[in-house]
């Protein structure tokens, strides 16, 4: 039997809610061809619907949050990957499905990225492609600001070191108060002092 025949037989054996589920699945434009012709794809969808397969991945997608050490662009890539694993058509689905993915990203950016979230909301981003470009530009701007801040810090440190060295050179070039007075001036000063002391002690001499 071909894959299409096996899938048709499987659908005929279903009854009740399972039969209705199979009919809805067959009408799904995105999945109808696969579930009609591929036994693997049909059983995969059956396990997701009735065996809980994929519930964990869906939960991870809808409860995703941006990590503190992630850039918005890195978080977007992680969210896109979670959507792909959950088979959510965030890139090629309907306009409503694309917008739902964008809204989920904006609402889970966290308090550290409120400025970006507000900007994206005002831009009315409609799909993941525009969202990716906006996040890439924001990532470049953030890198430029960090480099500029680092350059200013380094320049300030160099200026302080230069000012400290200049002040040190100025102080070394100033004459110190302990510099020696020439020997002749010292001798004269000492002699004059001794004469005045001797005069006060002996008084004037009479001839």
65 or 44, which is more confident: 65
Cα separation, 43 vs 37, in Å, equals: 11
pLDDT of residue 190: 47
| pLDDT for res 182 | 54
- C-alpha span between 42 and 169 (Å, rounded): 85
Query: Residue 176's pLDDT band (boundaries 50, 70, 90)?
Result: low
Give me the residue spans of the domains in the chain. Answer: 3-53, 57-143
Q: What percent of the chain has pLDDT over 90?
A: 28
Assess whether pLDDT exceeds 50 at residue 187.
Answer: no
Q: How confident is the model at residue 186 (pLDDT cuts 50, 70, 90)?
A: very low
Q: What is the pLDDT of residue 195?
A: 47
Helix boundaries (H) for 14-125: 17-27, 32-37, 39-50, 55-62, 72-85, 95-107, 114-123
Lowest-confidence range among 56-70, 96-110, 137-151? 137-151
Of 119, 144, 148, the residue nearest 134 (C-alpha): 119
Per residue in 104-155, pLDDT (tens digit) is: 999 999 888 999 999 999 999 999 999 999 999 998 877 676 676 665 666 6
Q: What is the pLDDT of residue 12?
A: 84
Of 1-5, 130-134, 158-162, highest mean pLDDT: 130-134
Which tops the pLDDT comparison, 165 or 159?
Answer: 165
Q: Which of 176, 195, 193, 177 is nearest to 185 (CA)?
A: 193
Reported as a pLDDT band with limits 50, 70 and 90, residue 41 is confident
Closest CA to 66 of 120, 110, 128: 110
Predicted TM-score (pTM) of the model is 0.49
pLDDT of res. 153: 64
Of these ranges, 26-40, 104-118, 155-169, the one predicted with the greatest mean pLDDT is 104-118
Mean pLDDT of the chain: 76
């Amino acid at each position: 039997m071909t894959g299409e025949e096996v899938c048709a037989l499987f659908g005929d054996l279903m009854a009740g809610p399972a039969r209705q589920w199979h009919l809805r699945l067959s009408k799904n434009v995105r999945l109808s061809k696969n579930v009609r012709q591929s036994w693997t794809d049909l059983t995969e969808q059956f396990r997701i619907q009735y065996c809980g397969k994929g519930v964990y991945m869906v939960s991870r997608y809808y409860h995703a949050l941006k990590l503190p050490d992630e850039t918005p662009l890195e978080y977007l890539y992680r969210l896109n990957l979670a959507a792909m694993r959950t088979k959510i058509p965030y890139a090629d689905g309907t306009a409503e499905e694309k917008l739902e993915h964008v809204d989920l990203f904006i609402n889970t950016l966290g308090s550290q990225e409120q400025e970006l979230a507000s900007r994206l909301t005002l831009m009315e981003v409609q799909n993941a492609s525009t969202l990716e470009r906006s996040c890439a530009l924001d990532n470049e701007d953030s890198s430029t600001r960090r480099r500029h801040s680092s350059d200013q810090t380094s320049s300030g440190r160099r200026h302080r070191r230069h000012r400290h060295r200049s002040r040190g050179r100025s102080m070394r070039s100033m004459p110190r108060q302990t510099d020696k007075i020439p020997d002749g001036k010292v001798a004269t000063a000492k002699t004059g002092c001794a004469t005045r002391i001797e005069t006060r002690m002996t008084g004037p001499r009479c001839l």
